[in-house]
Amino acid sequence: MDALAGGSDGAGTIGVGVIGVGLLGERHARVWSEIPGARLVAVADASPERSAQVGARFGVPAYTEAADLLTRDDIQAVSIATPDHLHAQAVLVALQAGKHVLVEKPLATDLDEAATMVAAARDAGRTLMVNYSQRFVPEFSWARRQIEDGVIGTPKIIRSLKDDQISVPTEMLRWAAQTSPVFFMTSHDLDLVRWYLNDEVESVYAQEARGVLRARGIDVHDGVDAIVRFRRGAVATFHSSWIHPAGFPGLTDSWLQIIGTDGVLSLGRGREHEVFTAGGATTPRFGTADEIAATLRGAFRHSLEHFLESLRGKTEPMTSAALTLGVTATQCAIIESIRRQGPVSVRLPADPIAQPAS
Confidence at residue 153, expressed as pLDDT on a 0 to 100 scale: 93
- Strands (E) in 90-154, as ranges, are 100-103, 128-130
Confidence at residue 349, expressed as pLDDT on a 0 to 100 scale: 84
| Of the listed ranges 53-62, 110-119, 294-303, 330-339, the one predicted with least confidence | 294-303
Confidence at residue 287, expressed as pLDDT on a 0 to 100 scale: 63
| Residues 102-110, mean pLDDT to the nearest whole number | 97
**In the structure, what pLDDT confidence band is assigned to residue 275 with cuts at 50, 70 and 90?**
very low
Contact predicate 333/345, CB 8 Å: yes
Confidence at residue 288, expressed as pLDDT on a 0 to 100 scale: 73
| Of the listed ranges 129-143, 297-311, 315-329, 342-356, the one predicted with least confidence | 342-356
Nearest to 114 by CA among 330, 286, 299: 330
Residues 341-352 as b/e (b if ≥16 CB within 10 A, e otherwise) read: eeebebebbeee
| Confidence check: pLDDT of 286 > 60 | no
**In the structure, what pLDDT confidence band is assigned to residue 236 with cuts at 50, 70 and 90?**
very high
- Residue 217: count of CB within 10 angstroms of its CB: 8
Confidence at residue 285, expressed as pLDDT on a 0 to 100 scale: 52
Contact predicate 162/239, CB 8 Å: yes
DSSP-derived 3-state class of residue 15: strand
| Residues 77-95, mean pLDDT to the nearest whole number | 97
Domain chopping of the chain, boundaries:
14-133, 138-296+321-345
In this chain, the answer to whether the domains covering 14-133 and 138-296+321-345 adopt an identical fold is no
| Confidence check: pLDDT of 292 > 90 | no
| Confidence check: pLDDT of 123 > 60 | yes
Confidence at residue 276, expressed as pLDDT on a 0 to 100 scale: 46
What architecture is domain 14-133? 3-Layer(aba) Sandwich (3.40)
**In the structure, what pLDDT confidence band is assigned to residue 295 with cuts at 50, 70 and 90?**
confident
| Confidence check: pLDDT of 21 > 90 | yes
Please give the torsion angle defined by the CA atoms of residues 240, 246, 247 and 251, in that order, rounded to the nearest 10 degrees.
Answer: 50
Contact predicate 113/50, CB 8 Å: no
Q: How far apart are CA 164 and CA 181, in angstroms?
A: 9
- Residue 138: count of CB within 10 angstroms of its CB: 11
pTM (two decimals): 0.89
Higher pLDDT, 286 or 168: 168
Mean pLDDT over all residues of the chain? 90
In CATH, the number for domain 138-296+321-345 is 3.30.360.10
**In the structure, what pLDDT confidence band is assigned to residue 296 with cuts at 50, 70 and 90?**
low
Nearest to 158 by CA among 179, 186, 183: 186
Percent of the chain at pLDDT > 90 equals 79
Q: How far apart are CA 224 and CA 62, in angstroms?
A: 38
Model confidence pLDDT, tens digit, residues 153-168:
999 999 999 999 999 9
| Residues 214-240, mean pLDDT to the nearest whole number | 97
Q: How far apart are CA 8 and CA 143, in angstroms?
A: 37
| Confidence check: pLDDT of 94 > 50 | yes
239 CB contacts (<8 Å, ≥6 apart)?
160, 161, 162, 163, 223, 224, 225, 226
Q: How far apart are CA 328 and CA 348, in angstroms?
A: 9
